[in-house]
Amino acid sequence: MIFGKKKPLPIEYDKDQEYPVIRSSICTGEEVAGFKDRESGHFREEMLIRNDSDRQAFCTACGITLSQLKKEY
């Protein structure tokens, strides 16, 4: 198949310094996946989450399960 879905590329991050998290807006419900620094609390955006398949693709790229993914507001 020429125009099929692409396999998500692995996302590299320092597991000792950062952890994967989904940031959700209280007002609009918009969700952004990224990594949060354990020391400074700085959030680094990686991708917009529009549906469950985006959420699963982010988890696959990070090498984690959905239950390990934290959600912050």
Q: Is 68 helix (H, G, I), strand (E, B) or coil?
A: helix
Chain centre to alpha carbon of residue 43 = 11
Which residue, chain included where needed, has tokens 């692995």?
10
Q: Is residue 54 part of a domain?
A: yes
Q: What is the pLDDT of residues 12-65, one digit of tens each?
A: 888 899 999 999 999 999 999 999 999 999 999 999 999 999 999 999 999 999
Range of the domain at 63: 18-72
In the chain, the number of structural domains is 1
Would you state the pLDDT for residue 73? 92
Q: Is residue 38 part of a domain?
A: yes
How many other CB atoms are there within 10 angstroms of residue 7's CB atom? 9
pLDDT value, residue 18: 93
